[in-house]
Amino acid sequence: MRTRQGSCYPKVDMCWDGRKNRRRDFSGERSYGRKRLKTSPESAGKKPDLFDGLPDDLVVSILCKLSSAAGCPSDFINVLITCKRLNALGLQSMVLSKAATKMLAVKATSWSESAHRFLKRCADSGNAEASYTLGMIRFYCLQNRATGASLMAKAAIKSHAQALYSLAVIQFNGSGGSKSDKDLRAGVALSARAAFLGHIDALRELGHCFQDGYGVPQNVPEGRRFLVQANARELAAVLSVSNSVVTPGSWLAWKVSPGSEAGCCPLLSDFGCNVPAPEPHPASRFLTEWFTARGGVPGPGLRLCSHVGCGRPETRRHEYRRCSVCGVVNYCSRACQALDWKMRHKVECAPLERWLDGNGDEDGNGIGNGGGNGNEGEDANVEYDGLNPTSDGTS
């Protein structure tokens, strides 16, 4: 620069050593200070993109919110395929660990190796829901019992209620092994943990265990208390749905059962309270779709649980117990039997002559649904390893 006197300022070298502030961002790219490196020379003459100016940690935070609130997998995948930056940041462990249940709801018809890898990546990121879903698929569909049970146990350690209950069902039935591999005490302990977390089916299972003395000392009042609590939680879950299309008069009617004792605390179903069936878990829907596409038969001589919201198959012959009245349906657990009895089988169950000729089941175990007041199966003659409680809970 020249002054009026004609003298010039000395030239100053304005070079800046960028190595001092060099760092790496979330995507692994090197950045210098606050400015990002230009990705291509073509962008030199274009207007700057405001999205490129957003910090990576802010974008990751937004993607975490999206993954936790996505209603289906496509809501998240459509964002990943938008650009390379979103694809790189969307596959960060922090984002995948926040993925919600609906975002991980893979359909059996869309199952592929890439879907398997995505669920595995989510599970490795610490997502308990992904660990449970992939564990169920591996254990029952892919017949990889060891890794499937390990993934479900990984989710159970993080207090995933559905995983705890599924492991309890496996222990009660000895799934993946022989009949001697049943561990009733472990099943009761897992059911109690899931029930403590508010799992409705686990509450029912625990109530039946106490009523029947199955894996735990018999305590009829305690069992009835758990069953009442399960009914109350189910009713509260229906009432909490804001967009419920069910009118109160369609499922609630004050009809006291003739066999109810005065002064006792009966179950809600004693008064005609029949709430809609709960929505099955995406993992259960996957199992149902998987075996339906294969003819509904998991293997030679094997059967599926008759409760439509379950989808669990047998892992060996005669693993599940049949109805001791009709011999047509079979269930993996007491909770599935109670739900299916109330929703469907109560009006279909009828004695079958060919079934009355035998002992009920090759294992000598059956689930009875006949008689009683339709008390969600609690009034049924449930036979488990010689236990046959009557409708009033006494043996």
- pTM, entire model: 0.74
Alpha helices in the chain (DSSP H): 56-69, 73-80, 84-90, 93-96, 113-124, 128-136, 145-157, 161-173, 184-196, 200-212, 220-239, 248-251, 282-292, 334-343, 353-356
In sequence order, the 6+-apart residues with CB closer than 8 A to the CB of 276 are 238, 246, 251
60: helix, strand or coil: helix
Give me the pLDDT at residue 98, please: 92
Model pLDDT for residues 197-246, shown as the tens digit of each residue = 999 999 999 999 999 899 999 999 999 999 989 888 888 877 776 554 45
Share of the chain residues as helix, strand and coil, in percent rounded to the nearest 5: 50, 5, 45
**108 in Cβ contact with 283 (< 8 Å):** no
Give me the pLDDT at residue 349, please: 83
Q: How far apart are CA 372 and CA 204, in angstroms?
A: 18
> Which pair of tokens denotes residue 309?
């919201």
Residue 92 sits at the vertex; the CA angle it makes with 89 and 97, to the nearest 5 degrees, is 130
Give me the pLDDT at residue 96, please: 93
Give me the pLDDT at residue 264, please: 41
Give me the pLDDT at residue 359, please: 47
Give me the pLDDT at residue 308, please: 86
Model pLDDT for residues 66-113, shown as the tens digit of each residue = 999 988 888 888 888 888 888 899 899 999 999 999 899 989 988 999
Q: How far apart are CA 189 and CA 177, in angstroms?
A: 20
- Give the alpha-carbon dihedral of 225, 230, 233, 239, to 10 degrees: -120
The arrangement of strands across the sheet holding 382-383 comes to: 330-331, 321-323, 366-367, 382-383
How large is the greatest C-alpha to C-alpha distance in the chain, in angstroms? Answer: 123
In sequence order, the 6+-apart residues with CB closer than 8 A to the CB of 332 are 169, 173, 305, 307, 310, 312, 319, 320
> Which pair of tokens denotes residue 159?
């207090």
Give me the pLDDT at residue 355, please: 46
Q: How far apart are CA 367 and CA 377, in angstroms?
A: 9
**253 in Cβ contact with 222 (< 8 Å):** no
- pLDDT below 50 — which residues of the chain? 1, 12, 14-16, 18, 20, 25-27, 31-32, 38, 40, 244-245, 251-266, 270-271, 355-356, 358-365, 369-395
| Among the listed residues 18, 2, 20, 22, the one whose alpha carbon sits nearest the alpha carbon of residue 10 | 2
Give me the pLDDT at residue 192, please: 94
